[in-house]
Amino acid sequence: MTTPDKQTNTTNRRNFLGQSAALAAGITLAPGVTLYGVAQAKAPEDAVTAKVRWGMLIDANRCADGCNDCVSACNSENGLKGHGRPETDAQWIRKVNLRDPNTGAKQSLPVLCQHCSEPPCVDVCPTGASFKRKDGIVLVDKHICIGCRYCMMACPYKARSFIHETVTDQKPHAPRGKGTVESCTFCVHRVDAGGQPACVEACSKTSAALTFGDMNDPKSNISKALAEYPSSRIRADLGTDPGVRYRGL
Amino acid sequence: MRWMRTLLANGTTAQAALLVALFAAGLALGLTVQTAEAAENSRVYVPKPPKGKGDKCMEDTKFMRANHMNLLKHQRDETMHNGIRTKKHSLKECVACHTVPGNDGQAVSYEDPKNFCRQCHDYAAVKLDCFECHASKPPKGQAKIHPNAKNAYRVSGGLPQ
Amino acid sequence: MKDVTYSELNARGTGFYSLLAIFGAFAGIGLLSSWYMEHNGHYVTGMTNQIVWGMPHVFAVFLIVAASGALNIASMGSVFNRLAYKPLSRLSGLLAISLLAGGLAVLVLDLGRPDRLIIAATYYNFKSIFAWNMFLYTGFMGLAVIYLWTLMDRKMKCFSFPAGLAMFVWRLALTTGTGLIFGFLIAREAYDAALLAPMFIAMSFAFGMAIFILMMLAAYNGDNRPLGDYIIKRMGKLMVVFIAANLYFVTVHHLTGLYAAEHSGVEAFILTSGGTFTWHFWLLQVGVGAVVPLFLLACPFTPLTRTGIALASVLVIIGGMAQVYVIIIGGQAYPLSLFPGMEVQSSFFDGVVNRYVPSLPEIGLGLGGIAIAAIMVTIGMKVLRFMPASLADADIDPHFKPAAPAEAPKEAVAEAAE
């Protein structure tokens, strides 16, 4: 049992530490524009915990129609190469253009794996290859993926791709091979090292429509942004509780 | 050795027979090892993959030969599911260290029979599944090749070309 | 009814072995197709990131569903105690095992990593209906073997009712599980319905019955064994009920879809605007697969003939394949709705009807699965006593009365109470 006093003290100290860390990690580019690294890096030997839930906020109002920077960044980061066969080529993130047929209003926004807290792909996977890390990142364990594609049938977001051909020259941090299913990893190799996903980094140079961070940490940029304005989830009706949120949808 | 004496003292015929069998098996194993060593100078192909770039592996060679797959499998689950990214038993580090230069001086990938892992796996006819997905050589320009690695073909009987 | 004598296939010589060779060739084509797909990667098939389950799944699901249906005869005999069907229980079990094996072979050989079958058998996610199905399939095989044992070993005869009952419950569970593979897909408008489970059960009844009838006709004609009209007509009449039940569930499924505005899009797609899927639905599934067979089997003005029943069975199979095609491929062709009410466009085929062109290797693999089932049935009948020596009316009809006044009607009645 802790006394209320003690609790306040701890909170204050944590706040203070958090702020100092933010100050230390943040680089002020111009007045009002600050580039933040993501919280403190996890030590390599530390296991991920459920104290963190990684999430992404996509501001559709800022996302420029015709801009494809997040997609190119993802492809080069993860070594995704097209084979001139759009129907079978892998896409981890894609730009979707929306048009309201009644009003004619247009929007453009990226769709990627939504890293649901109740992911249908994880529910249906027969071997448990499709799984959710404690910190909310949904991944495919390609070591035990048998390539049945049931997760692709189950995903409401069309977020997954099947690798239709032999892959060579993979990136060391992004293993991928024929006959297994894959999707956005939130650039888990970067996140584990305290970095940000490649798409977020690329976007920050142009539109700054993407915010990445720990949604469980009230001090993180994403939590503050989510608290400030309403946001929405794609197909919220399905109850999958995505970790990717949209503003201005 | 006490258990052996106990066994011999109280042993039934069956136990004695078992012991003899075990001894024979041990003898046979020893002979096999000897034969393998003798094969160095014979025309029989024995893989002798080149050294890695560091001074020594993080475990001794004998242990690694027998257990590398278990270490890798354990590490793979730890990294995949728990995000533990220590370098000691990471495949990425194995690949970075155990590079073999090709004709162009660059590290060869797993498609090349000279590849460190392939040399033994080909010999033992054990499927090498890691590189269906994982990069089998360090990214371009990052490969550090140990001078000893030049001896990639220092294999008795020569590599099947 | 007399005591039933069982015997192995008499057929031997060139004819029999050429038949086996033909089946073998198709099985070989199936294996080659699989090797070709696995070696190159699935881009050589018709599947894409949009249509992830293609022709192999159509064949596999059809065969698996039909496997459960092939047990109709066994259930009628052992569970519902219909005497006329009892002699055919063994064949029914053999056909069920074989069809399931063929279907599973296709399913496994189409996996992205079929070499990892051992992983599928050692790593389980118990929340997955797919994982449950692996137990349902293997359990089905095991139970079917036990059931056959109780039928074929005199000492085990007393267990044939409990074994048959267990088998009956298990086959319903198996088809329920198979239907729910689709029923549990919350995101896809064409699925996401528990109704798919009973619909798959009705499908299994009809498909399995049709396949059993054709197999029985082929085996008895090919082996020159007496086959009376009584048993065939009885099966034909039973099939009417199954076809009607299937049609009923299809109707209810689409009605519920049409009722919800949310699903009106996918219903309009399948029923009116889906191009080849619409044709498959109305012409093949409903027309060829249900209306014509119902007419052939139940029309009060035309007599029920052997040819009519055989033809109806063929049509039920064609309609069944079309039905599975419409469910699996049609259901995926209709785009996922991420942003309801909005027009969408992307490089990843959002919002467009997905194209699927079946490829030769996929069809080859599917035919290979059918061939594997055919080989198993043929060899099974050749080496073990699955077939009653005679299915003549006098041997099988419990109420058979010889045309000419003959002796021993009392005996027949006594035997029937067996």
Reported ipTM: 0.91
Retrieve residue C86's tokens. Answer: 């009892």
At B102-156, the pLDDT tens digits run 888 888 988 888 899 999 999 999 999 999 999 998 887 665 555 555 444 434 3
**8 Å CB contact between C18 and C322:** no
Check CB contact of C131 with chain A, cutoff 8 Å.
yes
> What whole-number distance in Å separates Cα of residue B111 and Cα of residue A77?
23
Q: Are B95 and B134 in contact (CB under 8 A)?
A: yes
Whether A2 shows a pLDDT value over 50: the answer reads no
Write down the H helix ranges in C184-305.
196-222, 229-259, 264-268, 276-279, 292-298
pLDDT of residue C406: 47
How close, in Å, is residue A15 to chain B by CA atoms?
Answer: 26
Kindly determine whether residue A238 and residue C187, on different chains, have CB atoms separated by under 8 Å.
Answer: yes
Q: Report CB contact under 8 Å: B133, A135.
A: no
Nearest CA in chain A to C183: A154
Q: What is the CATH number of domain C6-416?
A: 1.20.1630.10
Task: Please tell me which of the candidates A42, A141, A180 has its beta carbon nearest to residue B80.
Answer: A141
Instruction: Report yes or no: B138 at the A interface, CB cutoff 8 Å.
Output: yes
Which residue on chain B is closest to A191 by alpha carbon?
B83
Closest residue of chain C to A88, computed from CA coordinates: C48
A234: closest CA of chain C, how far (Å): 6
CB B80 to CB A176 under 8 A? no
- A109 interaction partners in chain C (CB closer than 8 Å): none
Q: Which of A77, A138, A170 to mutate to test the interface with B (most CBs of B within 10 A)?
A: A170
Q: For chain A, say whether C248 makes contact (Cβ under 8 Å).
A: no
Which whole number is the average pLDDT over C183-212? 95
pLDDT in tens, B19-55: 556 666 665 555 554 444 544 556 777 787 887 777 7
Tell me which of A95-104, A116-125, B3-12, C293-302 is least confident.
B3-12
E strand or H helix at A30: strand A27-30
Domain boundaries, chain C: 6-416
Which positions in chain C touch A149 (Cβ < 8 Å)? 52-53, 112
Across the beta sheet with A93-99, the strand order is: A106-112, A93-99, C343-346
Contact A158 C350 (CB under 8 A): yes
Name the band, by pLDDT with cuts 50, 70 and 90, for residue C103. Answer: very high
CB–CB contact B83 A175 (8 Å): no
> Residue A54: helix, strand or coil by DSSP?
strand
- Is B86 touching A (CB cutoff 8 A)? yes
Nearest CA in chain A to B95: A172
Q: List CB contacts of A162: < 8 A, sequence separation 6 or more.
A: A88, A90, A147, A149, A152, A180, A181, A182, C42, C47, C49, C52, C112
Whether the predicted pLDDT of C401 surpasses 80? no
**Residues of chain B found within 8 Å of residue A133, distances taken between Cβ atoms:** 81-83
For the cut 80, the answer to whether the pLDDT of residue B15 exceeds it is no
CB A182 within 8 A of CB A90: yes
Question: Which subunits count as partners of chain A given 3+ CB pairs below 8 Å?
Answer: B, C
Instruction: Supply φ then ψ for residue A105, to 5 degrees.
Output: -65, 140
**Cβ separation of B133 and A139 shorter than 8 Å?**
no
pLDDT category, A110, cuts 50, 70, 90?
very high
Residue with tokens 């099974």: C380
Cβ neighbors of C170 (< 8 A, separation 6 or more) are C136, C139, C140, C143
For A88-102, what is the mean pLDDT? Answer: 96
Per DSSP, the three-state class of A20 is helix
> What residues in A contact B86, CB-CB < 8 Å?
44-45
Query: Over 50: is that where the pLDDT of A30 sits?
Result: no
Residues of A in contact with C52 (CB under 8 A): 149, 152-153, 162
Q: Look at residue C412 and tell me whether its pLDDT is greater than 50.
A: no
Residue of C nearest to A114 (CA): C338
Determine how β-strand A54-59 pairs with β-strand A244-247. parallel
* Residue C286 clears pLDDT 70, i.e. is over it: yes
* pLDDT tens digits, one per residue of C322-339: 999 999 999 999 999 999
A88–C185: do the CB atoms touch at under 8 Å?
Answer: no
Q: What is the mean pLDDT of residues C359-378?
A: 98
Q: What is the count of residue pairs from A and B with beta carbons less than 8 Å apart?
A: 59
Categorize the per-residue pLDDT at A22 as very low, low, confident or very high, splitting at 50, 70 and 90: very low
Q: What is the mean pLDDT of chain A?
A: 87
Which token pair is C99?
Answer: 């069809």
The CA distance from A13 to the nearest CA of chain B, in Å, is 28
Averaged confidence pLDDT in chain C: 93
CA distance readout (Å), C20 to A169, C28, C130, C214: 46, 12, 33, 17
Locate the chain A residue with the closest alpha carbon to C331.
A153
Any CB–CB contact under 8 A between B80 and chain A?
Answer: yes
* Phi, psi dihedrals of residue A212, rounded to the nearest 5°: -120, 145
- Residue A163 to residue C112, Cβ atoms within 8 A: yes
Confidence of residue C56 (pLDDT cuts 50, 70, 90): very high
Note whether A135 contacts B83, CB cutoff 8 Å: yes
> A99 vs chain C: nearest CA distance in angstroms?
5
- In this model, does residue A64 exceed pLDDT 60? yes
Q: Tell me, what's the pLDDT at B26?
A: 60
Residue A201 pLDDT > 50: yes
Residues of A whose CB is below 8 A from B80:
139, 141, 143
Cβ distance A213 to A222 under 8 Å? yes
Question: Which residues in chain A are closer than 8 Å to B81, comparing Cβ atoms?
Answer: 131, 133, 141
CB contact under 8 A, A149 and C53: yes
Q: Which residues of A touch B139 (CB under 8 A)?
A: 171-172
Residue A91: its chain C contacts at CB < 8 A? Answer: 49, 347-348
Q: pLDDT value at position C413? A: 47
Give the separation between CA C195 and CA C206, rounded to whole angstroms.
17
Instruction: Report pLDDT for A40.
Output: 60
Question: Regarding predicted confidence, which is higher, A8 or C359?
Answer: C359
**What residue spans define the domains of chain B?**
2-41, 61-153
Q: Which chains touch B (3 or more CB pairs under 8 A)?
A: A
**For residue C157, is pLDDT > 80?**
yes
Binary contact (B83, A167; C-beta < 8 A): no
Using the Cβ of C41 and the Cβ atoms of chain A, whether some distance falls under 8 Å is answered with yes
- Chain B CB contacts of A46 under 8 Å are 83-84
C-beta contacts of B37-44 below 8 A and 24+ residues apart: B39/B156, B40/B156, B41/B156, B42/B156, B42/B157, B43/B156, B43/B157, B44/B156, B44/B157
Judged by a CB distance cut-off of 8 A, whether residue C38 touches chain A is: yes
Q: What is the pLDDT confidence band of residue B59, given thresholds at 50, 70 and 90?
A: confident
- Average the pLDDT over C225-240 and give the result: 94
Given pLDDT bands bounded at 50, 70 and 90, which one contains residue C145?
very high
Interface of C with A in 182-221 (CB under 8 A): 184-188
What confidence score (pLDDT) does residue B28 get? 56
Q: Does C126 contact chain A (CB < 8 Å)?
A: no
